[in-house]
Amino acid sequence: MDDVVRQGAGAFGSRLRRLVERLDRDVHAAYEASGERFEPRWYGVFTSLRDAGPLTVGELAQRLGITHAAVSQVRTALEREKLIASEADPQDGRRQRLKLTARGRETARRLAPLWAAIQAAATQVLAEGAPTLLADLAGLEQALDRRGLRARIGDTLHGDDSDVSGDLDEDV
């Protein structure tokens, strides 16, 4: 048994990151094998723009449940690859709306069969090893929405509802 598994719930975040990195490596290898220059971390932003764009960075962050900074990092990479472009927001010229370029739309068309194969493979893995994982993840997200891990750590440390001050190791 490896150290991360042995540590149980105390290394829950580390175990999830390790699993995500493993999945991302396999998906990245599938992109490379198909001759596509596309990163797994771009998928959420890219497909949100494909399906609902144009969107602002803030709208993307809200839709995906990630930070503005995370969206901005992906935005920079997608713009560098000329897969997306920005335009002034018609309601507020100070804001930029992101949209797929013609190259982005063509990339989405080419990647559709690969994305379908990735979804089929993921469905097989879930059915084989964790048939309730997606529902369990939804339950975990709801529990964290009700009371975050930081507050729960404070409860354990202080025996009350106080929040923990300062930085905490995110490897929990």
Specify whether the CB–CB gap between 156 and 166 falls below 8 A. Answer: no
Which domains are seen in the chain, by residue range? 34-131 (1.10.10.10), 132-172 (no CATH)
Q: What is the pTM (predicted TM-score) of this model?
A: 0.84
pLDDT, mean over the chain: 91
Predicted confidence (pLDDT) at residue 124 exceeds the cutoff of 50:
yes
DSSP H or E stretch at residue 84: strand 84-88
Tens of pLDDT, residues 127-166: 999 999 999 999 999 999 999 999 999 999 998 654 444 4
DSSP string, 91-135: S-TTSEEEEE-HHHHHHHHHHHHHHHHHHHHHHHHHHHH-TTHHH
pLDDT of res. 92: 85
Tens of pLDDT, residues 77-99: 999 999 999 999 888 888 899 99
Specify whether the CB–CB gap between 38 and 107 falls below 8 A. Answer: yes
Q: In Å, how far from its chain's centre is CA 42?
A: 9
Predicted confidence (pLDDT) at residue 7 exceeds the cutoff of 90:
no
pLDDT of res. 160: 66
Q: How far is residue 127's CA from residue 21's CA, in Å, rounded to a whole number?
A: 20
Amino acid letter for position 154 = G
Predicted confidence (pLDDT) at residue 33 exceeds the cutoff of 90:
yes
Q: How far is residue 124's CA from residue 110's CA, in Å, rounded to a whole number?
A: 23
